[in-house]
Amino acid sequence: MGVFKRIFELALEQGIATADQVHRPERLPTDEEFLLVHDADYLRAFSDCSLDEERVRRIGFGAVTRTPTLVRRTKAEVAGTLLTARLALRHGLAVNTAGGTHHAFPTFGSGFCILNDLAVTTELLLAEGGVQRVLILDLDVHQGDGTAVCFQDRREVFTLSVHAASNFPARKQRSTLDLALPDNTADDAYLATVGSVLPDVLRNFKPDLVLYDAGVDPHVSDALGRLALTDAGLARRERLVLDTCLAFEIPVAGYVGGGYDEDLTVLAERHLHLHRAAAELWEAYGLGA
């Protein structure tokens, strides 16, 4: 979790973002908003710090899961994801320093994900009527299984997951479109896959908004990844995704997703490829004008 703070610090230190470009949520989502996705008993148990041992084990954080600090941090992350989506709808592009809890299911958490920020945000925006169709593009190395379950058979939401075939979760769920890549897939093959499918999905599905989970765990040095992207490959991926969405005049909100390294600065630098690409394209498309 410390990596979120480090991303923020480095973005300011390196001039990728300025203080006046930073936005913070004004409130946490309400229970009613979380209940658009999550089961009432699960939400209550998490909020009351009374989750049973099996649910705590499945999430992966251990005893800290049952603490008010983690409850607030988890809900704040969802608030940040929603704010990022609203900013993208207003300006065309926005990126977060957190987000992408795609392993959270309606009734339980999994894989270090407790509440599904992408799903809650999507349901809220659809309920408000501001969007009619949402594409959730998940390029984390692990399949977005929780998100897939949240939106199975929902025509308003297209879930696209490009992930390592032989990685967590062992039991994959059914996204609208799943592209499972073999171990050690490197930059050119990976980018060719994304670059061939994304324009077709945008052209045919015509989303009003793209929520982009930009997990950096496809990196060759990631502790839990099985793919082989380089830093240059990640940088190319972020620019490819954001530029493609903007070229189609579709607002895009980016989230950092997964990534695992003992050195938080090294990990934060990988995530910052997203923010750097966003800053460059913000200027290129004149979004701040």
Catalytic residue numbers, as ranges = 103
Q: 10 Å Cβ neighbour count for 283?
A: 10
- Do 178 and 102 touch, CB atoms closer than 8 A? no
The C-alpha atoms of residue 195 and residue 204 are separated, in whole angstroms, by 15
Q: In this structure, what token pair is assigned to residue 10? A: 């480095």
**What amino acid occupies position 33?**
E
Closest CA to 105 of 61, 59, 62: 59
